[in-house]
Amino acid sequence: MPYLGAAYLWVKAAHVIFVIFLMAGLFMMPRFFVYHQETVPGSAEDQRWIERETRLLKIILNPSLILTWVFGLMLMVEIGAWHFGWFHLKLLFVLALSGHHGWIASYAKKLARGQRSLADKQLRMLNEVPGIAAAVIVIMVIVRPF
């Protein structure tokens, strides 16, 4: 029995909006890291990058992740998604993307401490993770191949 009623489309719209915000942040932060790593630890420029990364996390990424999950779980319950195979693969990639968000938050803290453990090329490669995950998620939701 549907519980969202007329609010369903509003919840769906909110979910998509916050997914867009989340994805934008997930694409931006590794690029920030590439530029941040070029600075001297403790320098004024280093501090500006720390501030930018902190704001992106606190204002965009963290709230978007939470709201994406809240609205997504509401939609999952509404359509009984747990019973569909496509949803399980989607959920796996959503969990991986959430883990990627966690990695981004932890790497921002490392950079703030002056630790630069990854090469620029590695950060550029990690910048592809959200795009690949988004492609699989969209295919699962739109095409629903199984």
Total H helices, total E strands in the chain: 6, 0
In a 13 Å sphere around the CA of 120, the CA atoms on its Cβ side amount to 7
pTM: 0.93
Q: How far apart are CA 137 and CA 40, in angstroms?
A: 38
Q: How far apart are CA 52 and CA 72, in angstroms?
A: 28
- 132: tokens are 């690949």
Q: Which three-class secondary structure state does DSSP give residue 28?
A: helix
Task: Tell whether the model's pLDDT for residue 118 goes beyond 70.
Answer: yes
**Residue 15 is labelled as binding a ligand:** yes
**Which whole number is the average pLDDT over 114-126?**
93
pLDDT band with cut points at 50, 70 and 90 for residue 1: low
The pLDDT tens digits for 80-111 are: 999 999 999 999 999 999 999 999 999 999 99
Name the nearest CA neighbour of 36 among 118, 93, 134. 118
The pLDDT tens digits for 18-49 are: 999 999 999 999 999 999 999 999 999 999 99
pLDDT band with cut points at 50, 70 and 90 for residue 2: confident
Q: Which residues contact 117 (CB under 8 A, 6 or more apart)?
A: 110
How many C-beta atoms lie closer than 10 Å to residue 18's C-beta? 21
